[in-house]
């Protein structure tokens, strides 16, 4: 298996109430057969080095960094030879698209200085929610890569398979989750009431997981597979191990 399986551990923070012990979290994930976490998080570079040493000692890795300022994030990701950082800009649907595009393109240039790529994370409730918005943005910001979230795009009515086909050479990473609809009469403006994100194969939204995996493999995708489950209804390691086992079956 060429791909590294990791966790975007926001859902673990929600379940636990925060991150209190990085070493304990890494131990839990390693026991689930998971190789890392999406972000190395730290308040400053000294703590980042300490945390990176911990990842290394545990035989774990991280895909990118999340620091206290955008510039420090870029410096940290560059120092640890990572490929990308998130676009860390305000992107609520009230933000003018022109402003978001301008700032995103500025961030691309800033990241190039550090030898990094900048990745857009599509998300319900953000400026880049549905397929048309994603396609428009990717055309208007040709230097931006895509951190594709299959759950958010599918829930917004987008086509994940076509998106991988179209942007396979601009993928920075992929977030994997499934969708459980709670009340489809509720609109996307209240998406957190309409649905919850759940473990792979635990949803009811007909997410084409196998087709997405096949098209990724057809294009020789060899980057991070990041499990992200915002809402856990039981101890997270149960859900995360199930999702990790499914990804291993799909990507072997």
Q: Write out pLDDT tens, residues 49-62.
A: 999 999 999 999 99
- Residue 71, Cβ neighbours under 10 Å: how many? 11
Distance CA 153, CA 37 (A): 22
pLDDT at site 126: 95
Q: How many domains does the chain have?
A: 1
Distance CA 135, CA 138 (A): 5
Three-state secondary structure call for residue 21: coil
Distance CA 60, CA 37 (A): 8
Hunting for tokens 């943005």 — which residue is that?
Answer: 137
Q: Where are the beta strands (DSSP E) in 199-251?
A: 225-227
Q: Where are the beta strands (DSSP E) in 157-206?
A: 171-176, 178-181, 195-198
Residue 1 predicted with pLDDT over 70? no
Q: Which residues pair with 234 in a beta bridge?
A: none
| pLDDT band (50, 70, 90) for residue 30 | very high
Share of the chain above pLDDT 90, in %: 96
CB-CB contact of 196 with 178 (8 Å): no
Task: Find the domain containing 181 and state its range.
Answer: 5-251
Residue 252 predicted with pLDDT over 90? no
pLDDT in tens, 142-164: 999 999 999 999 999 999 999 99
pLDDT at site 89: 84
Residue 214 predicted with pLDDT over 60? yes
Q: How far apart, in Å, do the first and last CA atoms of the chain sit?
A: 5
Which ranges of 5-96 would DSSP assign to H, the alpha helix?
10-16, 22-31, 45-57, 70-79
Q: What is the CATH number of the domain that holds 12?
A: 3.20.20.150
DSSP H or E segment with residue 62: strand 61-66
């Amino acid at each position: 298996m060429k791909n590294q399986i990791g966790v975007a551990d926001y859902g673990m923070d929600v379940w636990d109430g925060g991150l209190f012990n990085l070493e304990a979290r890494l131990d839990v994930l390693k026991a689930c057969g998971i190789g890392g976490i999406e972000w190395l998080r730290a308040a400053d570079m000294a703590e980042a080095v300490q945390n990176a040493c911990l990842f290394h000692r545990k035989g774990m890795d991280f895909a990118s960094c999340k620091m206290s300022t955008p510039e420090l994030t870029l410096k940290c990701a560059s120092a640890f030879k990572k490929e990308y950082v998130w676009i860390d800009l305000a992107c609520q649907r009230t933000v003018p698209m022109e402003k978001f595009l301008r700032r995103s393109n500025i961030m691309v240039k800033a990241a190039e200085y550090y030898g990094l790529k900048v990745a857009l994370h599509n998300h319900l409730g953000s400026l880049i929610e549905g397929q048309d918005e994603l396609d428009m943005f990717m055309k208007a910001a040709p230097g931006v890569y895509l951190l594709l979230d299959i759950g958010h795009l599918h829930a917004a009515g987008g086509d994940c398979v076509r998106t991988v086909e179209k942007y396979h050479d601009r993928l920075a990473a992929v977030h994997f989750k499934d969708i459980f609809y709670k009340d489809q009469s509720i609109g996307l403006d209240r998406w957190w009431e309409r649905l919850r994100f759940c473990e792979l194969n635990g949803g009811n939204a007909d997410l084409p997981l196998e087709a997405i995996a096949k098209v990724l493999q057809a294009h020789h995708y060899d980057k991070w597979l990041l499990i992200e489950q915002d809402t856990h209804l039981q101890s997270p390691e149960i859900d995360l191990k199930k999702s990790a086992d499914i990804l291993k079956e799909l990507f072997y």
